[in-house]
């Protein structure tokens, strides 16, 4: 599978400010868009970046060029998304302007775009670790293949997914970026191990089959995850509960901490 690139996740429709503007122009742009910062343009060339924090204790008529950061950190559209992630998180900035070799603005990539690209990442280690677990638990010798599996036949083993992550997987499918799901195939059963958001996204979009890492088991044995699915009354993807973002456990924990403080 091709590596994920910045161009696949960046926002193309970028709102910017002109270097000839003032702090007032930036404030008005913030109020209209709710964005917290903008690339600064001199014609069609990026020359800086101005964030809301740069306007603290600044007079309204202060020129943009006096408050902007001219020490630019930018991204190339063909940059590996993982490299962009390292730059964003190590530098502590939230957004990178994406430019060409002449510093013309092409788009912008944010920390939220990077996070979206990493959710449900499938690594070879994840697949082989699961195979080793099957070997130890059931004394079987699974084989690994890559192929296409029908979405309607998938037995889910996860009872809940989240709407925000589901939207991210739908975006990836539309862009041709979705990674393979992981399934176990044994006689009479296709068990979904990893990729529940991708599978539900595909079903919602009317897609009937998905690329998958297929772990084949010849023995007709019931796996523990099948029994768990039965306990949760999961028979197909329609039985998975889709929760909104506000009910995500990480959000709930954050809200509790904020309220307590």
Domain ranges of the chain: 6-117, 120-250
Rounded Cα gap, residues 188 and 223, in angstroms: 13
Per-residue pLDDT of the chain (261 residues; tens, 9 = 90+): 457 789 888 888 899 999 999 999 999 999 998 888 999 999 999 999 999 989 988 999 999 999 998 888 899 999 988 888 888 877 777 888 999 989 999 999 988 788 767 655 666 778 888 899 999 999 999 999 999 999 999 999 999 888 877 888 888 888 887 889 999 999 989 999 999 999 999 999 999 999 999 999 999 999 999 998 998 999 999 999 998 744 444 433 333 333 444
120-250 maps to which CATH number? 3.90.1530.10
Q: What is the pLDDT of residue 197?
A: 92
Name the fold adopted by 6-117. CBS-domain (3.10.580)
Q: What is the pLDDT of residue 177?
A: 78
Q: What is the pLDDT of residue 249?
A: 44
Identify whether the C-beta of residue 118 lies closer than 8 Å to the C-beta of residue 85: yes
Give how far Cα 153 sits from Cα of 44, 111, 203, 237, Å.
52, 36, 11, 9
Q: What is the pLDDT of residue 94?
A: 81
Q: What is the pLDDT of residue 168?
A: 80
Nearest to 64 by CA among 103, 34, 4, 20: 20
Q: What is the pLDDT of residue 252?
A: 37
Rounded Cα gap, residues 17 and 34, in angstroms: 14
């Amino acid at each position: 599978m091709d590596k994920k690139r910045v161009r696949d996740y960046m926002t193309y429709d970028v709102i910017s400010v002109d270097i000839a503007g003032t702090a007032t122009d930036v404030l008005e742009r913030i109020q209209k868009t709710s964005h917290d910062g903008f690339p600064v343009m001199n014609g069609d060339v990026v020359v800086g970046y101005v964030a809301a924090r740069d306007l603290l204790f600044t007079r309204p008529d202060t020129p943009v060029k006096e408050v902007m950061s001219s020490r630019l950190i930018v991204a190339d559209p063909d940059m590996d998304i993982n490299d962009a992630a390292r730059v964003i998180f190590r530098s502590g900035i939230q957004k990178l302007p994406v430019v060409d070799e002449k510093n013309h603005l092409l788009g912008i990539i944010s920390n939220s775009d990077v996070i979206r690209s990493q959710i449900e990442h499938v690594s070879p280690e994840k697949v082989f670790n699961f195979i080793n677990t099957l070997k130890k638990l059931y004394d079987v010798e699974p084989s690994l293949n890559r192929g296409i599996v029908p979405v309607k036949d998938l037995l889910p083993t996860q009872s809940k997914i989240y709407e925000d992550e589901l939207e991210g997987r739908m975006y990836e499918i539309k862009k041709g970026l979705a990674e393979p799901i992981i399934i176990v195939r044994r006689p009479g059963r296709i068990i979904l191990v990893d990729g529940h958001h991708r599978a539900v996204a595909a079903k919602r979009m009317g897609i009937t089959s998905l690329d998958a890492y297929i772990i084949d088991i010849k023995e007709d044995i019931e796996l523990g995850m099948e029994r768990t699915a039965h306990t949760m009354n999961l028979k197909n993807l329609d039985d998975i509960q889709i929760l909104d973002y506000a009910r995500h456990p990480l959000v709930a924990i954050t809200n509790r901490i904020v309220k307590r403080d």
